Amino acid sequence: MLHLPTIPELRAWTRDQRVAGRRIGLVPTMGALHQGHLALVDEARRRSDAVVMSVFVNPLQFGPGEDLTRYPRDLARDRSLAGECGVDAVFAPTEAMMYPPGSTTRVVPGPASKRWEGAARPGHFTGVLTVVAKLFHLAEPDVACFGQKDFQQAVLVRQMVRDLDWPLELVVVPTVREPDGLALSSRNVYLDAPGRRSALGLSMALRAAHEAWRAGERDPAAIEGRVRGVLDNHAGLAVEYVAVVDPETLEPVSQTSGATIVALAGRVDGTRLIDNIVLGQGLV
């Protein structure tokens, strides 16, 4: 597996793949790889001939007081895991390479960025779209894979791809979970044993939403009530939002007969965790 530490090296790699007629798959990450990232790689490998993974903790998407400085970083481990699961090249630039002095242009997301994560983390999605746009320019992917766990991010990237006419296929890969249901996240390393028990409330609440839906409940307020009931039983879990929304607009729905997402966010010991479910699909 190739290590591409600079932008010129990534550009040269991209050019070589294009000349050889290979389809390029991109898996953007902030490192601290887990099985969820590896599922993105599997999907990218299925859909392309050469897979590049970016590993970059993007400072632009962290707000003041968030966990930028303590975000887990272990490039040697990430590279070895990426190599084992069939990544062809890892692009791991420095902050100065991605945002040299004077770099002030930003990609501003549309209205679907205003609620939920966008409301809790002002500027977050501008940071995400700006770095993803740069990665798309540098790697020129034919296919790019993102995780369903960050559903609002996936929706906004899809809108950016559409609005800016990017010639690529965007694939959203189902969330990977621990056997007990906890969604994999690089931030789970912050949790101690009691914290992990509290965090489990998130996936249990989503399961309750799914079960209510399967039993015929279609009223979003009632489904939200079920979710909150489970969350309230988990001491140590401070709920930030429970959203029963349309998967395109991210606006709250008035009934759940069409495609509907239940998304939630909460804090455990200062660690912010998110999760979501597509009603009717269950925890996949």
Is residue 25 close enough to count as binding ligand PAF by CB under 6 A? no
Q: What pairing do the DSSP bridges indicate for beta strands 2-4 and 89-91?
A: parallel
Tokens of 44: 């990218």
Site string for ligand PAF, 140-169 (x = CB under 6 A): ----------x--x----------------
Give the residue with the Cβ less far from ligand PAF, 57 or 230.
57
Binder of ligand PAF out of 10, 17, 28, 152 (CB under 6 A): 28
Give the DSSP letter string of 144-192: EEEEGGGHHHHHHHHHHHHHTT---EEEEEPPPB-TTSPBP-GGGGG--
Give the residue with the Cβ less far from ligand PAF, 74 or 192.
74
Smallest distance from the beta carbon of 16 to ligand PAF, in angstroms?
24
Smallest distance from the beta carbon of 174 to ligand PAF, in angstroms?
15
Give the residue with the Cβ less far from ligand PAF, 29 or 148.
29
Residues 36-65 binding ligand PAF (CB under 6 A) are 58, 61
Binder of ligand PAF out of 4, 24, 30, 237 (CB under 6 A): 30
Radius of gyration of the chain from Cα atoms?
19
Q: DSSP character for 284?
A: -
Is residue 243 close enough to count as binding ligand PAF by CB under 6 A? no
Give the residue with the Cβ less far from ligand PAF, 113 or 256.
113
Active site residue 37: yes
Residues paired with 277 in a beta bridge = 262
Q: Which range binds ligand PAF by CB under 6 A, 41-49, 128-136, 224-232, 241-249?
A: 128-136
Using an 8 Å Cβ cutoff, are 253 and 238 in contact?
Answer: no
Count residues binding ligand PAF (CB under 6 A).
10
Using an 8 Å Cβ cutoff, are 230 and 205 in contact?
Answer: yes
Is residue 132 close enough to count as binding ligand PAF by CB under 6 A? yes
Question: Choosing from 3, 34, 37, 234, which is the catalytic residue?
Answer: 37
Using an 8 Å Cβ cutoff, are 79 and 29 in contact?
Answer: no
Helical H segments across the chain, by residue range: 7-19, 35-47, 75-84, 95-98, 117-120, 124-139, 151-163, 193-214, 220-232
Rounded CA gap, 270 and 240, in Å?
Answer: 12
Give the residue with the Cβ less far from ligand PAF, 122 or 229.
122
Give the residue with the Cβ less far from ligand PAF, 58 or 113.
58
Tokens of 254: 């008035």
Rounded CA gap, 133 and 31, in Å?
Answer: 18
Binder of ligand PAF out of 131, 172, 230, 261 (CB under 6 A): 131
Q: Give me the active site residues, please.
A: 37
- Per CB under 6 A, residues contacting ligand PAF are 28-30, 58, 61, 128, 131-132, 150, 153
